[in-house]
Amino acid sequence: MPRAKPIPQAAERVVERWALPARQDRSRAMRTRILKAAEAAFAEQGYDGARIADIAKAAGCSVGAVYFRFKDKDALFFAIAESFAEDARARLADLFGGAGQPPAQMIREFVRRTAVNYRAHKGLFRAIVERGFDHPLAMKTMMAFRDELAGALERSLRAHLKARRAGELPLALRVATQMIYGFFLTGVLNAQAPTRIADARAVEEVAGAVIAYFESKGLLA
């Protein structure tokens, strides 16, 4: 079986809130295979359809090995959801750390990178939203991640704002965030959505609409 790519250290720390700590390389490798197999199962089958027996088979281990590391299916699911959020947070961090980037370009890059995350993990997003109807922690994880990124974007944009308009930014950003995530969630949940998150032109249109909204409010210098 091919060796699973190790998960980033920040994401691994999140996983260990839900899993038995793995001290040896062999144990960490097994846990990573289980997580990768489980993410694929949740993405393809949804939370209810994913079975531990199938996850174990895909990971090349026994059902007992899965339960040895994770208390139950919920623990496995939340380990994946929270580690995904941590990984995405780390990959977006450089966007907000760059100095001198024009605010319109910063917004455009934020939309583009959000699109990449949703396309790469479309099934997982769907499973998280579906699980969120029954278990609020699933939705809370995603909403906290969304709010944190919006806050980072706000801090970065604030340096470019006209001083007299700075007080208008929080509401404008909440509206813009709803525009962005509403578009992507619709694309994930509704197969009949009129636009596709895989359509680069549609993503650019969303970015342009958000930039135009900020400009109409006089918020971009």
**Phi, psi angle pair for 98, to nearest 5°:** -75, 140
For the chain, the structural domain boundaries read: 9-73, 98-216
CATH superfamily ID and name for 9-73: Homeodomain-like (1.10.10.60)
Q: What is the pLDDT of residue 2?
A: 45
Q: What is the pLDDT of residue 52?
A: 95
Q: Give dist(CA 83, CA 19) in Å, integer.
A: 12
Whole-prediction pTM value?
Answer: 0.75
Ranges under pLDDT 70 in the chain: 1-12, 91-100, 160-166, 221
Q: What is the pLDDT of residue 198?
A: 85
Q: Give dist(CA 77, CA 94) in Å, integer.
A: 28
Per this entry, what is the length of the chain? Answer: 221
Contact between residue 80 and residue 7 where contact means Cβ atoms under 8 Å apart: no
Angle at 117 between CA 187 and CA 76, to 5 degrees: 100
Q: What is the pLDDT of residue 96?
A: 63
